[in-house]
Chain A
Amino acid sequence: MSEPMELINAYMDGRATDDQFVQLVEWIEASKQNARAFQRIIVLEQQMIDDLHRRETEELAFSNKATGGDECDGSGFSQMLAALDDVHGEASAPVDISDVILDRQRKAEAARQSRERSLQCLGGHISPVDTKPRTRHYVIPKPLFYGSIASVVAVAALIIWSLIPDRGQVQPQPQVLGTVVSARGLEWFDDEQSLIVGDSIFAEPMQFKAGTLTIRFAQGGVATFKGPVRFEPSGRNELALQQGSMSAEVPPAATGFTVAVPGGRVVDLGTKFEVDVHESGESEVRVRKGTVRALRIDQKGDILHQLLLNERMAARIDPAAQQLALLESGEVDPGGVVRNQEFVNIGKDAGKARGFGEVEGSPTVCRLGDGRLFAVFNVGYGVVSPPSARYPRGGLLMSAISDDEGHSWSRPRVFFDSDDDDRHPSLARLRNGRIICTFFTFAGDGTRSTQLRYSDDDGTTWSDVGIAFDASNSDVGVAVTELSDGRLAMPVYLQVGIEELKVGVSFSDDGGENWAQPVMIPESSEPVAGEPALIEQGDGRLLVVVRGSRRMVSSESLDGGVTWTVPRTHEFAAQGPSLLQTGKGLLLAYRPALRKPIEIRRSFDGGRTWSKPERFDQYMGSYPEMLELNDGTILVVYHREGLDSDVVSFRIRVTEAGIEKLPL
């Protein structure tokens, strides 16, 4: 689950997924406060760049001063000097003004040569740092710096002024958007239309009654249309399908291939897919391979709702009903789509009932003293739900109870709702009956803190919320584990200094009232990305697995958490991992990557090596947690990702031979 800062960083580094981008837009638009926070980060980046340039320039200036330079007499600059006073008196910051000049220098190439000559004489030692015109920077001695400002700006402005009338005279040329690669049995509505293999495709409406036409778009996407069909290529990697059927096969270079349909869009993320637009205006999209994003949009083109569809999944976009919905099994592909009776929803649409939308996530489950199952999950208006003008209290935690081993769940009720976004709960039931729930709250300004509540009456009443441990905002505690010696252990991840992320384990000797400073796990060769999980093994060894930046890492302690081994890097990625010890091996559930279904592996050597992964749901999922049921089977709870994410569960049986999924 992404937090705003993570979303912003992903966007700024150009590595945001479609899902993250939609989340970011939602977050920005949720409140003015969020929009300002976003812009402040952008300003920070821009000023960081400016500062780097300033430092580099100063270093070069120092270097030039040390080495000396040719001198100029300044002749020819009297007008510049005269202009100095005008500007000097009003400019607030020299750096700003120099930015104006430098930008003009970079951009006005036509004027650059003559100006450069003048500027060289200004200082006698203008120092190009980079040979590329766009990134060229200069050092201008301060005595003449301001003098240059007004004149250069004026010159540049005049040049710009003189250039303006010339703009817009370029005549648009018809662009070739693709090429016909196959045309079979085409019967056109319009007798004047005809296409043969090799013909170029332009942005113009096409419609034919029968036959098959295949077009390779300029960016590489291949689309096949079956008559009767109406469509219009609209770009090198996009088209509008008004009615009829088409299929698309999109190579990686054409990722982003887009099919506009009434009231929506289908965006390829590297895949084969099919789209049908019916007479009613409804569209269906089916994914044969890879992933696509189905969007419902408004008349302005803004995204209203989206679904990410993996292989063998399908969705319907209905503009009349203003719906975008996942198609269930049997409707489209009886052989492929997951059978729903194997999954149980927990708190379905609890968020909708709270006026939030349909976002539920990050479930956790434990067994109560009377045998019932108790689940807590977070609910919000988005995947991340900090306070906003519309939702001033942000996301909240809700709970549900099952008295039939997870086959069905009670109507959800509010578990905790602070003024911030309450999220990512973890439950643990101790041997003395106390139930501890840890979670963290996320404020609109990006700060977060780990919280803790406990119940000594099997969940009937709960303590006030307290800070779980004394830590700064950047430290996050995860689930509590009761050890065999009675201590409680809580893995945490912390930001150390300003650049490093580290993982440690905090211990409590008094049932969670007080927590010691975390014992840090040694640094790993694989940078860690947080999300640790801890388990005590039968022989007393403590095992921590951690989400690495690329692959999972793990560390062991043989002395009850006093010291930890140098982390081992495993050969696979595991995000949001959780562990469960069974009589048939140690289980690890996790998400292998964004937009992937959850996986489960098994280890017979205490977590040092792991079996091949097994998947039980086609849908992308996150944050799985496992609980052993009375009959020895395992309940797996997690949430299916997306803007309408649901908390679901399924059941598995672990045998010597492997892991088997069970019908519920």
Chain B
Amino acid sequence: MSPRQPQRDHTTEMRDFAVLWAKAQSNVTAYVRAAIRNAHDAEDVVQQVAMAAAQDFEKFDRDLSFVAWTIGIARFRILKHLQKESRDRHIFGDSTLQSLADAQVEISTEIDDRRAAIRKCMDKLQPRGRKVVEMRYLRSMKPAAIADQMGSTANAVSSLLSRIRSALASCVNRQLQSMEESS
């Protein structure tokens, strides 16, 4: 065995990990975002999950679901974050986090279809709605700041965001249904 062989094995292992992580990351991110609403904090926790998963990757049983495994790691990381660092007033308990983890694993197979559907639905947003979601999600502006720019009220902006989410959810469901029917 050449001296460089261990490094090559390690790199191969990391490539495998990267491929699996690429597929799992959306699910892990959604799960983390469910419990941690601050985007930067959530991002940090997702990174911690990635690090922990990379560290323990050799222990991962390839016959099992990688998504379930990483979401299991995420649950503990979320709990740790919520206990130690969270400034949120509203914190999910362990049992709720477990319920959401199970739910995310169950819907993990839908995620690619949903991504395709949301793209079509986003095309249907009216300019005002698009502007609001861009400010909210792309620029991380709070409803009050959006309201200032749009000459509206924070409540009105929150209400509009709520309706957009509901409408997009309905639209995605319709898209998925039509995809099912056409397949």
Which residue of A has the minimal Cβ distance to B152? A527
Chain A residues near B90 (CB-CB < 8 A) = 11, 16, 18, 21
**Which of chain B's residues 75-125 have a Cβ closer than 8 Å to chain A?**
89-90, 92-96, 99-100, 102-104, 106-107, 110-112, 114-115, 118-119, 122, 124-125
**A40 and B169 in contact (CB under 8 A), knowing A93-B115, A154-B14?**
yes
What is the minimal beta-carbon distance from B59 to any residue of chain A, in angstroms? Answer: 14
User: How far apart are the CA atoms of A21 and B90 in the complex, in Å?
Assistant: 7
**Which of chain A's residues 133-157 have a Cβ closer than 8 Å to chain B?**
134-135, 149-150, 153-154, 157
**A100 and B22 in contact (CB under 8 A), knowing A56-B138, A150-B15, A154-B15?**
yes
Question: Can you name 16 A-B pairs with beta carbons within 8 Å?
Answer: A9-B162, A29-B95, A40-B110, A42-B31, A42-B33, A44-B165, A50-B26, A52-B137, A87-B18, A103-B46, A107-B47, A150-B15, A150-B18, A154-B15, A161-B14, A446-B169
Q: Are B93 and A499 in contact (CB under 8 A)?
A: no
**A53 and B138 in contact (CB under 8 A), knowing A21-B90, A93-B115, A497-B126?**
yes
A46 interface residue per 8 A CB criterion: yes
Nearest first, the 6 A-B pairs at minimum CB distance are A498-B167, A35-B103, A153-B18, A9-B162, A549-B155, A302-B93
The listed residue (A14, A41, A48, A500) touching B122 by CB distance below 8 A is A48
What is the minimal beta-carbon distance from A429 to any residue of chain B, in angstroms? Answer: 35
Q: Are A499 and B164 in contact (CB under 8 A)?
A: yes
**A160 and B103 in contact (CB under 8 A), knowing A87-B15, A498-B171?**
no
A605 interface residue per 8 A CB criterion: no
Q: Are B159 and A28 in contact (CB under 8 A)?
A: no
Chain A residues near B153 (CB-CB < 8 A) = 527, 549-550
What is the minimal beta-carbon distance from A10 to any residue of chain B, in angstroms? Answer: 8
Q: What does the 1/0 interface line of A47-62 toward B look like (CB < 8 Å)?
A: 1111111011000000
User: How far apart are the CA atoms of A99 and B29 in the complex, in Å?
Assistant: 11
Q: Are B107 and A39 in contact (CB under 8 A)?
A: yes
Chain B residues near A520 (CB-CB < 8 A) = none
**A107 and B43 in contact (CB under 8 A), knowing A28-B100, A87-B18?**
yes
What is the minimal beta-carbon distance from A321 to any residue of chain B, in angstroms? Answer: 23
Q: Are A86 and B103 in contact (CB under 8 A)?
A: no
Which residue of A has the minimal Cβ distance to B90? A21
**A161 and B54 in contact (CB under 8 A), knowing A29-B99, A96-B26?**
yes
Q: Are B25 and A157 in contact (CB under 8 A)?
A: no
Q: Are A51 and B89 in contact (CB under 8 A)?
A: no
Q: Are A498 and B137 in contact (CB under 8 A)?
A: no
Q: Are B159 and A154 in contact (CB under 8 A)?
A: no
**Which of chain B's residues 48-96 have a Cβ closer than 8 Å to chain A?**
50-51, 54-55, 89-90, 92-96
The listed residue (B23, B124, B152) touching A498 by CB distance below 8 A is B124
Q: Which residues of B approach A to under 8 Å, CB–CB?
A: 10-11, 14-15, 17-19, 21-23, 25-26, 29-31, 33-34, 37, 40, 43-44, 46-47, 50-51, 54-55, 89-90, 92-96, 99-100, 102-104, 106-107, 110-112, 114-115, 118-119, 122, 124-126, 128-129, 133-134, 137-138, 140, 142-143, 152-153, 155-156, 158-169, 171-172
Chain B residues near A153 (CB-CB < 8 A) = 14-15, 18, 21-22
Q: Are B26 and A42 in contact (CB under 8 A)?
A: no
Total interface residues on A, CB under 8 Å, equals: 80
Chain A residues near B18 (CB-CB < 8 A) = 87, 100, 149-150, 153-154, 157
What is the minimal beta-carbon distance from B77 to any residue of chain A, in angstroms? Answer: 13
Q: Are A36 and B122 in contact (CB under 8 A)?
A: no
A495 interface residue per 8 A CB criterion: yes
What is the minimal beta-carbon distance from B89 to any residue of chain A, in angstroms? Answer: 5
User: How far apart are the CA atoms of A107 and B115 in the complex, in Å?
Assistant: 24
The listed residue (A16, A86, A95, A301) touching B93 by CB distance below 8 A is A301
User: How far apart are the CA atoms of A266 and B111 in the complex, in Å?
Assistant: 40
Q: Which residues of A approach B to under 8 Å, CB–CB?
A: 5-6, 9, 11-16, 18, 21, 25, 28-29, 32, 35-36, 38-53, 55-56, 83, 86-87, 90-93, 95-97, 99-100, 103, 106-107, 134-135, 149-150, 153-154, 157-158, 160-161, 163-164, 255-256, 300-303, 446, 474, 495, 497-501, 527, 529, 549-550
User: How far apart are the CA atoms of A527 and B128 in the complex, in Å?
Assistant: 14
Chain B residues near A55 (CB-CB < 8 A) = 122
Interface of A is mostly: helix
What is the minimal beta-carbon distance from A635 to any residue of chain B, in angstroms? Answer: 32
What is the minimal beta-carbon distance from B122 to any residue of chain A, in angstroms? Answer: 5
What is the minimal beta-carbon distance from A524 to any residue of chain B, in angstroms? Answer: 11
Chain B residues near A18 (CB-CB < 8 A) = 89-90
What is the minimal beta-carbon distance from A8 to any residue of chain B, in angstroms? Answer: 8
Which residue of B has the minimal Cβ distance to A267? B89
Chain A residues near B134 (CB-CB < 8 A) = 52
Which residue of B has the minimal Cβ distance to A53? B138
User: How far apart are the CA atoms of A47 and B171 in the complex, in Å?
Assistant: 14
User: How far apart are the CA atoms of A28 and B166 in the complex, in Å?
Assistant: 17
User: How far apart are the CA atoms of A646 and B14 in the complex, in Å?
Assistant: 59
The listed residue (B23, B102, B172) touching A92 by CB distance below 8 A is B23
User: How far apart are the CA atoms of A35 and B11 in the complex, in Å?
Assistant: 38
User: How far apart are the CA atoms of A601 and B160 in the complex, in Å?
Assistant: 30
Q: Are A48 and B118 in contact (CB under 8 A)?
A: yes
Q: Are B112 and A92 in contact (CB under 8 A)?
A: yes
Chain A residues near B46 (CB-CB < 8 A) = 103
Chain A residues near B169 (CB-CB < 8 A) = 40-41, 44, 446
Q: Are B99 and A32 in contact (CB under 8 A)?
A: yes
Q: Are A13 and B14 in contact (CB under 8 A)?
A: no
15 further interface pairs, Cβ-Cβ under 8 Å (given A21-B90, A44-B169): A6-B162, A43-B26, A44-B168, A47-B26, A47-B114, A48-B137, A52-B138, A87-B19, A100-B22, A107-B47, A153-B21, A154-B11, A158-B14, A495-B163, A498-B126
Q: Are A47 and B102 in contact (CB under 8 A)?
A: no
